[in-house]
């Protein structure tokens, strides 16, 4: 056997084996290919789904971001509305947790931080009971309560969403000023009827006597005439003063500012009361600086010093009543001294109160309404000024009105 024959024999043998191998391997490859393809398709589908899910998630996140932004914007807006509202306010949810609260509510309860609210329930007892009851009963209610010496109107508003109870909103309004106004009005009506009743019944009594058929007493007739005149004058004063006071509280006094000379004004005031001055042994002097001008309400100034002079005359039988002025870098002070009966130190704090009269009967005789100094104080305060009194019983009194220096204009 030569070499070529052996090679051919090996080749033939290899072809035979290969053929068998190919025949064997073909279905395996086919199966692998088919499976591979199926897996590929499956994987592709999963991939596609994954991409779609990713897209959905991204879209959802974007939408959530927008919703979050909007809701945090809305929450911020709500918070800023609540914090800017002037009333104490608090909103709690259905689990009695605080959702929104403003500084005014914290201040009302002497709290500086919200967390203190959760920690040790420092709320005013009446307020806490009101909140608890309204929350538990889910009711809209209103109650007037006194917290820290202020009157509040407390309001509860239950919040519902699709018929479900979601919590409660509480608003507290300070109504001290409103109640005070009501009290003043009631007092005014009571005072007015009380004050007018006395002169009216005095006049009625005298007229009744005068109307008696057998009344002939000339002396009493003359006396009654004078008394009726005094009582009528008194009623006129009371009505006039009441009207003045009802129109003017310090807050609503309208000032008509003009430039005038206080020295001349005091001269006018003295001249207008010359007849009362002459009935007594009194001298009135005006020592105000002549060179001084002020920017103020002339009528109100006239009323102030006219009242003070009238009081000084009523309280004095003799002596000197002196008007003076002084200035420092803050105030222009105008003083009126008298040498009259003076006042006991215990009386002084009350004399600016309405209807306060130290000696009722004496005041009635002089026709005072008891409102004069209340009006004086209102007018001085309206000029951002203050009024002070120094008095010694039996020696005399000094009333000092201090006005801010800015009203002074050098003549």
d(CA 385, CA 253): 13
**Residue 369 found at the interface with ligand ADP (CB under 6 A):** yes
Query: Is 245 strand, coil or helix?
Result: helix
Nearest distance in Å: CB 286, ligand ADP? 17
If the CB atoms of residues 282 and 294 are measured against ligand ADP, the closer one turns out to be: 282
**Residue 368 found at the interface with ligand ADP (CB under 6 A):** yes
Query: Is 291 strand, coil or helix?
Result: coil
Q: Of 138, 141, 113, whose CA–CA distance to 127 is shortest?
A: 141
Structure tokens at 165: 């109870």
**Residue 234 found at the interface with ligand ADP (CB under 6 A):** no
d(CA 11, CA 52): 57
Interhelix angle 298-315/262-272, rounded to 10 degrees, is 50
Nearest distance in Å: CB 264, ligand ADP? 23
Query: Is 28 strand, coil or helix?
Result: helix
d(CA 31, CA 266): 126
Only segment of 69-77, 226-234, 334-342, 378-386 that touches ligand ADP (CB under 6 A): 334-342
CB 153 within 8 Å of CB 144: yes
Among 203, 288, 343, 408, binds ligand ADP (CB under 6 A): 343
Nearest distance in Å: CB 359, ligand ADP? 6
Nearest distance in Å: CB 102, ligand ADP? 44
**Residue 401 found at the interface with ligand ADP (CB under 6 A):** no
If the CB atoms of residues 260 and 355 are measured against ligand ADP, the closer one turns out to be: 355
CB 210 within 8 Å of CB 203: no
Q: Of 341, 357, 355, whose CA–CA distance to 397 is shortest?
A: 341
Give the list of residues 6+ apart from residue 96 with CB closer than 8 angstroms, or none: 135
**Residue 373 found at the interface with ligand ADP (CB under 6 A):** yes
d(CA 224, CA 230): 10
**Residue 322 found at the interface with ligand ADP (CB under 6 A):** no
Nearest distance in Å: CB 122, ligand ADP? 45
If the CB atoms of residues 158 and 319 are measured against ligand ADP, the closer one turns out to be: 319
**Residue 378 found at the interface with ligand ADP (CB under 6 A):** no
Only segment of 26-34, 204-212, 228-236, 367-375 that touches ligand ADP (CB under 6 A): 367-375
Only segment of 182-190, 250-258, 276-284, 362-370 that touches ligand ADP (CB under 6 A): 362-370
What is the binding site for ligand ADP (CB under 6 A)?
311-312, 315, 338, 340-343, 351, 356-359, 363, 368-374, 397
């Amino acid at each position: 056997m030569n070499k070529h024959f052996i090679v051919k024999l090996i080749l033939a043998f290899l072809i035979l084996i290969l053929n068998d191998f190919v025949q064997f391997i073909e279905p395996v490859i086919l199966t692998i290919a088919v499976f591979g393809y199926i897996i590929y398709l499956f994987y592709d589908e999963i991939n596609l789904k994954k991409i779609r899910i990713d897209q959905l998630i991204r879209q959802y996140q974007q939408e959530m971001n927008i919703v979050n932004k909007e809701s945090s914007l809305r929450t911020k807006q709500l918070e800023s509305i609540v914090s800017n509202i002037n009333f104490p306010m608090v909103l709690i949810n259905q689990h009695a947790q605080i959702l929104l609260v403003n500084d005014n509510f914290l201040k009302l309860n002497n709290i500086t931080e919200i967390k203190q609210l959760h920690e040790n329930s420092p709320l005013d007892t009446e307020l806490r009971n009101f909140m608890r009851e309204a929350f538990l009963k889910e009711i809209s209610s209103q109650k007037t309560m006194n917290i820290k010496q202020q009157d509040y109107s407390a309001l509860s508003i239950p919040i519902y969403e699709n018929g479900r109870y979601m919590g409660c909103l509480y608003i507290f309004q300070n109504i001290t000023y409103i109640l005070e106004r009501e009290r003043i009005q009631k007092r005014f009506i009571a005072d007015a009827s009380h004050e007018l009743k006395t002169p009216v019944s005095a006049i009625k009594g005298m007229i009744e006597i005068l109307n008696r058929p057998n009344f002939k007493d000339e002396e009493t007739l003359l006396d009654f005439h004078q008394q009726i005149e005094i009582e009528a004058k008194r009623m006129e004063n009371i009505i006039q003063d009441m009207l003045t006071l009802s129109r003017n509280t310090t807050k609503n006094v309208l000032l008509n500012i003009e430039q005038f000379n206080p020295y001349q004004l005091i001269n006018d005031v003295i001249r207008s009361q010359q007849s009362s001055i002459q009935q007594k042994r009194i001298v009135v002097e005006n020592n105000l600086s002549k060179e001084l001008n002020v920017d103020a309400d002339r009528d109100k100034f006239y009323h102030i010093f006219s009242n003070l002079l009238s009081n000084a005359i009523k309280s004095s039988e003799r002596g000197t009543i002196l008007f003076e002025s002084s200035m420092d870098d803050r105030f222009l002070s105008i003083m009126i001294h008298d040498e009259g009966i003076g006042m006991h130190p215990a009386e002084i704090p009350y004399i600016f109160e309405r209807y306060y009269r130290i000696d009722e009967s004496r005041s009635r005789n002089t026709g005072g309404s008891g409102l004069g100094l209340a009006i004086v104080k209102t007018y001085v305060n309206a000029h951002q000024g203050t009024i002070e009194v120094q008095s010694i019983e039996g020696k005399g009194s000094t009333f000092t009105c201090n006005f801010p220096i800015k009203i002074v204009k050098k003549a």
